[in-house]
Structure 1
Amino acid sequence: MCNIASKFELLVLIVASLTSVPFAQTDSSAYFRFTLIDDTEIIAKVDSLTPDAFKIITASGMNLVIKKSQVKLIEELDSDLSRQKIFQTDPNDYRLFLSPTARSLPAGNVQFVVYEIFFPVVSVGITDYLMLSGGMSLIPGAEIDEQVRYLSAKVTPLKISNFQFSFNSTYFSSWDNNDFTTAFATATFFSGKFAFTTGLGFGYSQKDIFKSPVIILGAEIRMTDNSKIITENWLWDDEDLSIFSFGVRFFNQKIAGDLGFLFPRYNSNSSGFIPWLGFSYTF
């Protein structure tokens, strides 16, 4: 019980330090994975805490000091590292297949994404809490003024331990001036090889707000060090329309590729499936 209480106390103190809550110094035999804002990962024990830094000891015995402002995520690991699987970071974990998670691109990072071959997007991390994206469709045979243009912003005001919360909005402009905007509130919980995302969104066009909100339910399950299963599901309230999806993502440190299938349903009837392809490169 004392060991469990010690670990719990240390985890609370670390979370408190990241949210500027007063804390005291302590130690523990527990190992933690520190993910920095540039996605560097360090496995270490916490030797002591200061108001603005962690003094840690790595598994190899190296002593380091990390400023808390450089840490974006802390996860407690098994004290026996031989039983703990350490996974490669997904460079495109800011999105499921199409809809966003609550995670945000770190400040200064740039990402290029292509959906379904003809829909490219460029995203930039303005700060650790603000991400901007934009692009234009490249549909063959269509003139430039006939392509769809889109611009989005994501603000992530809440980042605590394994939970993040964000607001997202995307503006679409089409050739017939039938502009369309979506707005979402999204929450993501992640721990080890599992992550769960839920969101609530509304759409509006030409000053008319759609009466039926959409609920997004998504999950990520790690299969191997460089792959995961993803499911992303859209459910409309008061509408007989839903879209379910299932697929896999393969990735290394900078590149990620998605292969999946979308299953639209209307009035409880299946409408077949739509193949889904996605690619991303993070600079």
Structure 2
Amino acid sequence: MHSTLRTFFCSLPLALASLSALAQTPAERVIIVSPVVGEVIDGAEKARFGLFPYYSADSFQDARFLRALAPDSAITLRTRLRDGRQVAKPFTFAEFQAAHDLIERRQRELDANPQPAAGTASSSQGTPELPGRSYSIELRSGTTFTGVLQTTAPDALEFMTKDLGLVTVQRSNLKRLSLLTTEQAAKGYTDAGNGTRIFFAPTARNLRQGEGYLQDIDIILVGVNYGITDNISVGALVPLLPGVGGNVFAITPKVSGQISEKFSIGAGALYARAFGVGGGVAYGVGTYGTADDNATLGLGYGFADGKGASSSPVLLLGGAKRLSRGFSVLNETYIFSEGLAGLVGGRLQGERYGGSLGFLYGSGYIGGIYPAYLELTYRFGKHK
């Protein structure tokens, strides 16, 4: 009896140690979906291989696959988000295998057709293809949308969109790919144009090189403007009136420069001729803000052929505010010695087409407020 008890008590520490070891043994273990990504899948790997589209690139930090030690136990994807939360998502074996196959297939594609390094431009579009960043996409069919680039392949790109989910775009169908700034990505759209004018009044922002637009004003006036460089643009305006021909026209050259990220200065002129008589306005302007939201202060002097500039200047105060993807409010006010006059209204805008409606207001003989400025525009050429 004493021998048995002695054996029992001698064995007890070993038994307790074994129980403690069992208690500390984890209930689940990490399983590797592919040696290409290893145990932990980070944000770059998620974007590179198009994994877990239900988590946005902005919120995802990393993830790993776990499996309980019990036989035939389920697989769990445990994801850590940037806000500190952890999310567990059950995975079937078929889903796990599909993730493995996707990674292996994409890796073979990337090995066979290496993509440009981050920060370099793609040869087809001249735009960096950076997984995890937001883009504005325009298809050859005219469809436009924004999305976060998930993966790149030799023949296709995949984007995660807010409304459509995961969208695959064949490169052959892609017309333009524009990388969005942080501000644009937060809004969910890119700028429509470069904010070069209000209604008729110019701003100090210029058309970018190769960018242009056609416009029709009040049906009877047709104009075109084009960016020769990022700092020099030129425009022309002619009336659509029978019998006028080349007897009436106007040209609008402008030179501008960017002083800081949001402040630009510029100078230009509007010169018009009608039946042998010419004159116009020379001006200088300063604009603060972005292509969508800006304020402009300008000073202009009138002149005529054979005469110098007038001694009485015209002061311009104006601005634009984009309220949504497709609508902005605008105002331009001209202050001169006899009083003031201006246009106030709105603009509907898309990636290529737009339209504006301005109401005339003023002091003195003008009085009241009247619909006076109707415009349709089409953007062409380079489109950033």
Residue aligning to 2:378: 281
1:231-258 CA distance string (max 9 Å, x none): 111111xx22311221110111111110
Instruction: Tell me the secondary structure at the aligned position of residue 209 of structure 1.
Output: coil
1:233 aligns with 2:333: yes
Matches within 5 A, 1:187-266: 187-191=286-290, 194-206=293-305, 207-236=307-336, 239-266=337-364
Matches within 5 A, 1:94-113: 94-113=196-215
Matches within 5 A, 1:35-50: none
TM-score scaled to structure 2, two decimals?
A: 0.50
* CA drift at 1:274: 4.1
Counterpart residue identity of residue 301, structure 2: F
Q: 1:76 to 1:213 in 2, by over 3 A?
A: farther
Q: Which runs of 5+ in 1 are unaligned?
A: 1-37, 46-57, 63-73
Give the count of matched residue pairs.
217
1:126 aligns with 2:242: no
Counterpart residue identity of residue 126, structure 1: I
Residue aligning to 1:164: 264
Native 8 Å contact 2:329 2:347 kept in 1: yes
Native 8 Å contact 2:352 2:378 kept in 1: yes
Percent identity, please: 23
Counterpart residue identity of residue 200, structure 2: L
Instruction: Tell me the secondary structure at the aligned position of residue 117 of structure 1.
Output: coil
TM-score scaled to structure 1, two decimals?
A: 0.66
Q: 1:77 to 1:91 in 2, by over 3 A?
A: closer
Q: Quote the Cα distance in structure 2 between the aligned partners of 1:157 and 1:196.
A: 16
Q: What is the RMSD computed on CA atoms of the aligned residues? A: 3.4
Q: Quote the Cα distance in structure 2 between the aligned partners of 1:166 and 1:178.
A: 27
* CA drift at 1:210: 1.4
Residue aligning to 1:32: none
* CA drift at 1:148: 2.2
* CA drift at 1:60: 6.0
Q: 1:190 to 1:155 in 2, by over 3 A?
A: same
Counterpart residue identity of residue 180, structure 1: G
Instruction: Tell me the secondary structure at the aligned position of residue 187 of structure 2.
Output: coil
Q: Quote the Cα distance in structure 2 between the aligned partners of 1:272 and 1:252.
A: 27
More strand by share: 1
Q: Which has the higher contact order (CA 8 A, sep 6+)?
A: 1
Q: Quote the Cα distance in structure 2 between the aligned partners of 1:278 and 1:95.
A: 13
Q: 1:202 to 1:76 in 2, by over 3 A?
A: farther
Q: Which runs of 5+ in 2 are unaligned?
A: 1-124, 135-146, 152-179
* CA drift at 1:59: 6.9
Which of 96, 102, 114 matches 2:216? 114
1:64-99 CA distance string (max 9 Å, x none): xxxxxxxxxx97649xx7xx3244312262111101
Larger radius of gyration between Structure 1 and Structure 2: 2
Q: Quote the Cα distance in structure 1 between the aligned partners of 2:233 and 2:357.
A: 25
